[in-house]
Structure 1
């Protein structure tokens, strides 16, 4: 038995905690986890919109005056920006839903999980950017 420093094998694994804060590079969630979280968040956003829409349509039963009083809300700039965010959520949720269907029904899809996620991002951007441009242009006019 030798005295002095402990051999490397007995020190245990080198982790961010054992190297210190300076060596910590940040946490990068796996693609599947990021996709899962975004899918749930966008799904909740769509659900919130649908609940608001149900209340909106319910007010029609109280007469056109009541419904028309609520329309000021839809013309407000904050609501218009929320509308753009809603469309972004819908596009991502739909594209990622197709990815989930592919993973569920295609046995080899797990081998391409990262590529499928990047495909979702490309489809999302290809659909959302022109739509957002048109929505912002209409809002500015």
Structure 2
């Protein structure tokens, strides 16, 4: 049940990100200066942390979507659905740990005096 709830939540989060992304990209046509200001606000540690969360949400949503398709369309899907859930959890962790480190590296280095 929790994977169902997380799948819905990550889907909504991804939708809202795409909505904001389309709006801020459209700003370049309306006012390039305003667009540049908005893009500058995205270069903060908080937004960087939110980007890591977004990647985690999209990755879980994609992996769980594959699991849902296998459960629905594979004759043995329901038998192995719990195993597949643990598999996607392990894959998610294995991808997210180095991914989060790579995404946060610049922010951490700037915060602790490493510069740009």
Q: What TM-score do the two structures reach when normalised by structure 2?
A: 0.89
Aligned length: 109
- Cα RMSD over matched residues? 1.0
Verify: 1:69 aligned to 2:37, yes or no. yes
Matched, 1:37 2:5: yes
TM-superposed CA distance for 1:63, in Å, is 3.3
Q: Which runs of 5+ in 1 are unaligned?
A: 1-32
Q: Map of 1:118-137 to 2, 5 A cutoff?
A: 118-137=86-105
Q: Give, in angstroms, the shift of residue 118 of structure 1.
A: 0.3
Larger Rg: 1
Measured after TM superposition, the shift of residue 57 of structure 1 is 0.9
Distance 1:77 1:119 in 2: 31
3-state DSSP of counterpart to 1:134: helix
Other structure's SS at 1:97 match = helix
From the two aligned structures, give the one with the greater helix fraction: 2
Q: Give the structure 2 partner of residue 92 of structure 1.
A: 60
Deviation digits for residues 25-50 of structure 1, max 9, x if unmatched? Answer: xxxxxxxx111001011111111110
Unaligned runs of 5+ in 2: 110-116
Corresponding residue number in structure 2 for 1:78: 46
Which residue matches 2:77?
Answer: 109
**Runs of 4 or more consecutive aligned structure 1 residues displaced over 6 Å after TM superposition:** none
> Structure 1 length normalisation: TM-score?
0.74
1:81 Cα deviation from its structure 2 partner: 0.8
